[in-house]
Amino acid sequence: MITNSFSFKRYFSLFFVMFFLISGAQKKFTIVLDAGHGGSDHGANRHYGDLGTVREKDVTLAITLKLGRMLEKNKDYKVIYTRKIDEFPSLTERTTLANRSKADLFISIHVNASTKTSPYGTETFVQGPDQNKTNLEVAKAENDVIFLDEKDRETFATYDPKSPESLIALKIQQSKYLETSLLFGSYVEGNFVKKDNRFSRGVKQQNLHVLRLNAMPSVLIETGFVSNYDEASYLASDRGQNEVSQSIYDAIIVYKKAIERNGGAPTPTREVEKPVEIALKNDFRILLMSSQTKYVPTDPALKGLNYILTIKENDLYKYYFSVTNMASVRDNNLKTAKDAGFRNASSISFVPNQKLGTGYYTLEVAVSDQKLSSNSFMLNTLKDVNRTKENGKFYYTYGKFSSLEEAVKIQKQLDEKGIKNATIQKISR
């Protein structure tokens, strides 16, 4: 009996282990739905004789609730709302909620406005470094709400995206969400055009506070212009709100399928008419320029672009912008670089985790006109720093690494130790 009950217990616990493994594998796809604005923050409004006042905060909530109801009927999805009523959750609350819930996708829904009545159409924004001036208006309008909340001011005041403390590894990590965010955005805009006959202004990159701190693919959808009579009347109508939420819903379904295949490499699905893009084997970075001058990430010479990786090669500092293995994102990044003023920017292919046959990577930790004191913070913190003198300058390097990824990893560790702005150097000999 004892033996029997023992084996039964074992059998039983094995069953539980398997049950949890299976239920873990079938974790619901969690989506945070963020109805823009709310409460005292009305967002954009317009008054029309026949429509009355069309308020952004009402339209965004109506679309969000319709979309949420569709998703809740599908057992594959879990929905988290930043608000379900007319209230104003702070941007910090929206982001914290999203990150704490370990969501798979964050969708912020908004309505656009212009000082003129003619502009119309939809556009979807992802967090990114686009320098395009026309997008700045949207960024300003959507970011302005930040100052309504004291807690936000604290949170965002300590976060400077252009600070040297922003780690390159983190930037590369963020660009992982950039690709998937762009992919989802393209599905949303595609549906608006194909299914609803809307005019799409495209998928764009912009610094938006509500997206910035999210550790997941995130988009902000501008569902149309309240300042345009036709679109205001469409967005205020049940039919318009149903179409918008249905198109976003359909985009979610296709997106989930696409990213679940091959761990992030989307493959064609039946729902998509045009072939879905497949990830490339190589990574692509945009070479902005080569210069004998060493710039810190905040230097105006880099024209405000984020996601910069500097690699010193043959006494020249090469400044690379962003990284991706998606052709469309690469082309978009190249355009962003050119728009920012780097007319000669070009895309360069990198083999991931490639080990150098000859030569190695090292980290240039300091360049100085004078010899550093052995009591200096850097020399005290690091052992085995190599010093060379060239043209009257002292160059200090640290470590030997066979791959770029390894060098980036150590660069990040140095940054955490307080050794900032170490530059990766490629030695080809």
Closest CA to 67 of 225, 189, 250: 250
Which 3 state secondary structure label does DSSP give 269?
coil
Q: Which position's Cβ is nearest Zn ion?
A: 110
Output 36 or 89, the one with its CB closest to Zn ion: 36
Find the shortest distance in angstroms from Cβ 110 to Zn ion: 3
Q: How many CB atoms lie within 10 A of CB 244?
A: 27
Find the shortest distance in angstroms from Cβ 13 to Zn ion: 52
Output 110 or 318, the one with its CB closest to Zn ion: 110
The Cα–Cα gap between 248 and 77 comes to 14
E strands present in 43-176: 45-48, 52-55, 77-81, 105-112, 122-127
- Contact indicator for 226, 234 with CB cutoff of 8 Å: no
Stretch that binds Zn ion, among 77-85, 101-109, 138-146, 176-184 (CB under 5 A): 138-146
Q: Is 57 in the site for Zn ion (CB under 5 A)?
A: no
Output 248 or 378, the one with its CB closest to Zn ion: 248
Residue 35, phi then psi, degrees to nearest 5: -75, 115
Find the shortest distance in angstroms from Cβ 112 to Zn ion: 8
- Contact indicator for 221, 111 with CB cutoff of 8 Å: no
Find the shortest distance in angstroms from Cβ 44 to Zn ion: 6
Q: Is 94 in the site for Zn ion (CB under 5 A)?
A: no
Q: How many CB atoms lie within 10 A of CB 161?
A: 15
Find the shortest distance in angstroms from Cβ 90 to Zn ion: 15
What mask of x and - would describe binding to Zn ion in positions 227 to 246, judged by CB under 5 A?
--------------------
Find the shortest distance in angstroms from Cβ 140 to Zn ion: 11
Output 87 or 165, the one with its CB closest to Zn ion: 87
Output 44 or 311, the one with its CB closest to Zn ion: 44
Give the CB-side neighbour count of residue 260, counting CA atoms within 13 A.
14
Stretch that binds Zn ion, among 39-47, 189-197, 296-304, 319-327 (CB under 5 A): 39-47
- Contact indicator for 76, 53 with CB cutoff of 8 Å: no
H-assigned helices in 168-302: 168-194, 209-212, 229-236, 238-260
Q: Is 224 in the site for Zn ion (CB under 5 A)?
A: no
Exposed/middle/buried for residue 226 (C-beta within 10 Å: 0-12, 13-18, 19+): buried
State the number of binding residues for Zn ion (CB under 5 A): 4
Find the shortest distance in angstroms from Cβ 82 to Zn ion: 13
The Cα–Cα gap between 326 and 174 comes to 15
Output 110 or 312, the one with its CB closest to Zn ion: 110
The Cα–Cα gap between 405 and 411 comes to 10
Exposed/middle/buried for residue 345 (C-beta within 10 Å: 0-12, 13-18, 19+): buried
Find the shortest distance in angstroms from Cβ 36 to Zn ion: 4
H-assigned helices in 311-403: 327-339, 377-381
Stretch that binds Zn ion, among 106-114, 183-191, 202-210, 406-414 (CB under 5 A): 106-114
Output 226 or 363, the one with its CB closest to Zn ion: 226
Find the shortest distance in angstroms from Cβ 208 to Zn ion: 10
Output 104 or 142, the one with its CB closest to Zn ion: 142
Q: Is 36 in the site for Zn ion (CB under 5 A)?
A: yes
Find the shortest distance in angstroms from Cβ 57 to Zn ion: 8
- Residue 196 makes CB contacts below 8 A (sequence gap 6+) with 243, 244, 247
Output 226 or 337, the one with its CB closest to Zn ion: 226
Output 43 or 129, the one with its CB closest to Zn ion: 43
- Contact indicator for 145, 92 with CB cutoff of 8 Å: no
Output 224 or 297, the one with its CB closest to Zn ion: 224
Which of 83, 110, 171, 201 touches Zn ion by CB under 5 A? 110
Kindly identify the residues of this chain, within the stretch 369-398, that bind Zn ion according to CB under 5 A: none
H-assigned helices in 101-167: 133-144, 150-157
Q: Is 43 in the site for Zn ion (CB under 5 A)?
A: yes
Stretch that binds Zn ion, among 34-42, 168-176, 269-277, 317-325 (CB under 5 A): 34-42
First to last CA, the chain: 73
Stretch that binds Zn ion, among 23-31, 42-50, 159-167, 294-302 (CB under 5 A): 42-50
Helix (H) or strand (E) holding 291: strand 283-291
Find the shortest distance in angstroms from Cβ 12 to Zn ion: 53
Instruction: List interacting residues with Zn ion (CB under 5 A).
Output: 36, 43, 110, 142
